[in-house]
Amino acid sequence: MFNLPVTYHMETAFGDDAGRRRTMERYAVAGAKYIVLSNRMILDIMHDFKLAGVYASELREHGLEFMDAHSPFGGILDMNCPDPGFRPQMILRHKMAIRIAASLGVKTITIHPGSDRFFPEIPLEKHLDLMRNTIEQLLIEAEAAKVIICIENSMSRAACPKMVTMLKSEYPSPYLGLCYDAGHAHQLDAGRLSPGGTIWKFWQTVGVPEPEWDDSALERMLPEMVNCHLHDNDGSDDSHSIPGEGTLNWNKVIPMLKRAPKLQVIQSEVLVDPRYAIEAVCRKFAELGEIN
């Protein structure tokens, strides 16, 4: 079994108030203990601060609690936002997300560095400089709140494992780490077998004919990994499938994760209801925990 907390992402099964509580109950009955403070929950709390107490109370009723968090993401909400008019708002939203996480007892929050495919006219080094500027501003908040920011790898050129590891190396603060996304990393390896796949399009959009393949992403990120997102795919797309339905080698991944020196949490980012039953996902992660 895993000797770290295993957390579950309930975003796709969120529903209305009654549906949300039913989802929590199903996770609890299936043996889960921890839930991700998700992007959606954080945005809802920003809209209505009282929801922080509502969500925490509902979780307690079902014997659950928050363990990790995911900051708002997508396009100009990511760390490489190039819009000078919106960047101050982007920074503020992530600072608020860090404080919301801290208020709920959460110690790690994942953040997206951003994909250069949304802004292909901007040179790679400019994307990296924008990310550095974001890190420098958010680290002040993270250190004060005692919440670790975890930069997540993606499939894009600007946020591949090589780039996020480089960014972390420039900032020795213990309040900055990495979030290893297994599905994203797998596409940078298995994606070479699917020439029409998503990852090819991401790199071609920024003028690179073929992705820079990487079959050692896990080894590269392992020393600074604080969180991880586990899900599967066949390399052609970011399908967030249940482990075993793709081509990711879990017999390699799980033993390595168990040796990660800074890892604090194992997170399922499998898409639940209607894609996969909550009960099936919890069973699968129990099985993964038995791999040594």
Asked if pLDDT for residue 12 goes beyond 70, the answer is no
Residues 73, 267: Cα–Cα separation, whole Å: 18
Residues 185, 161: Cα–Cα separation, whole Å: 7
| Nearest Cα residue to 68 out of 5, 26, 23, 13 | 5
Residues 204, 1: Cα–Cα separation, whole Å: 41
Q: What are phi and psi of 42, to 5 degrees?
A: -65, -45
Give the tens place of pLDDT for each residue, 114-130.
Answer: 999 999 999 999 999 99
Tokens (6 digits) for 226: 């604080």
Cβ neighbour number for residue 216 with a 10 Å cutoff: 13
Please report how many Cα atoms fall inside a 13 Å half-sphere around the Cα of residue 97, on the Cβ side.
31
Give the tens place of pLDDT for each residue, 79-118.
Answer: 999 999 999 999 999 999 999 999 999 999 999 999 999 9
Asked if pLDDT for residue 15 goes beyond 90, the answer is no
Tokens (6 digits) for 6: 């295993």
Q: What are phi and psi of 238, to 5 degrees?
A: -90, 75
Tokens 């919890």 map to which residue?
Answer: 282
What H or E segment, with its residue span, contains residue 53?
helix 51-61
Q: Where are the beta strands (DSSP E) in 34-175?
A: 34-37, 65-70, 108-111, 148-152
Asked if pLDDT for residue 190 goes beyond 90, the answer is yes
Give the tens place of pLDDT for each residue, 218-244.
Answer: 999 999 999 999 999 999 999 999 999
Q: Which domains does the chain have, with CATH numbers?
A: 6-288 (3.20.20.150)
Q: How far is CA 253 from CA 11, 28, 40, 116, 291, in A?
A: 25, 26, 29, 28, 9
pLDDT-derived band of residue 13, with 50, 70 and 90 as boundaries? low
Instruction: Please state, rounded to an integer, the average pLDDT across all residues of the chain.
Output: 96
Predicted confidence at residue 274, as pLDDT, reads 84
Predicted confidence at residue 11, as pLDDT, reads 77
